[in-house]
Amino acid sequence: MDEILEILEKDARVTPEDIGRMLKKKPAEIKKTVAKYEKDGVILKYKAVINRELIKDTNSQVRALIEVNITPQKDLGFDKIAERVYSFPEVASCYLISGTYDLLLIVEGKDLHSVAKFVAEKLSPMEHVKGVVTHFMLKKYKEDGVILKQKEENKRIAISY
């Protein structure tokens, strides 16, 4: 992968000037390359990794990993079914995977019931869906290479006899 992309993938806030210094290139050249990547769809979006556990938000969402077993369509394979699945607003991410299941979804809802309702009323009844397994996310320790919470100091009181 291109060095510019590697740098931006690790930290999207790095300026063209900083990248230029790292790679011994002119900032104008970096800006031009990044603009081309954006235009060509190589760079789709810039994103912040947020530790939601540190936000005291009453509107926090529940996330679930859902494994989906599907029957591929003749002459279309998995793509058409995946397109129908990832079109639902509840689906944050959709991956074709190897193994026992075909698709891995990351689904978000306001609570457990809304995710369960999505699975029961929208996903499971779909034509070509043979089965689903839902795993609710309880806690995230690391995301996109970033450790989300630093180690806490041991706050236990030492007891001696």
- Structural domain contains residue 136: yes
Over the stretch 96-110, which tens digit does the pLDDT of each residue have? Answer: 999 999 999 999 999
pTM as predicted:
0.79
- Structural domain contains residue 161: no
Look at the alpha carbons of 63, 67, 73, 77 in this order and tell me if their dihedral is positive or negative. Answer: positive
CB 66 within 8 A of CB 135: yes
Residue where the block lists tokens 């795993």: 135
- Structural domain contains residue 94: yes
Residues 35 and 64 in one domain: no
- Structural domain contains residue 153: no
- Structural domain contains residue 78: yes
- Structural domain contains residue 131: yes
Which residues lie across from 73 on neighbouring strands?
77
Question: What is the pLDDT at residue 94?
Answer: 98
Question: What is the pLDDT at residue 55?
Answer: 78
Residue 109 phi/psi, 5° resolution? Answer: -150, 165
Domain limits for position 29: 3-40
pLDDT lower than 70: segments of the chain: 57-58, 150-156
Residues 134 and 59 in one domain: yes
Residue 67 phi/psi, 5° resolution? Answer: -90, 130
Amino acid making up residue 14: V
Over the stretch 120-148, which tens digit does the pLDDT of each residue have? Answer: 999 999 999 999 999 999 988 888 888 88
Residues 60 and 132 in one domain: yes
- d(CA 19, CA 27) in angstroms, rounded, equals 7
- Structural domain contains residue 108: yes
Number of domains within the chain? 2
Residues 6+ apart with CB under 8 A from 68: 85, 101, 102, 103, 104, 105, 123, 129, 131, 132
Structure tokens at 84: 């129908």
Residues 28 and 61 in one domain: no
- Structural domain contains residue 103: yes
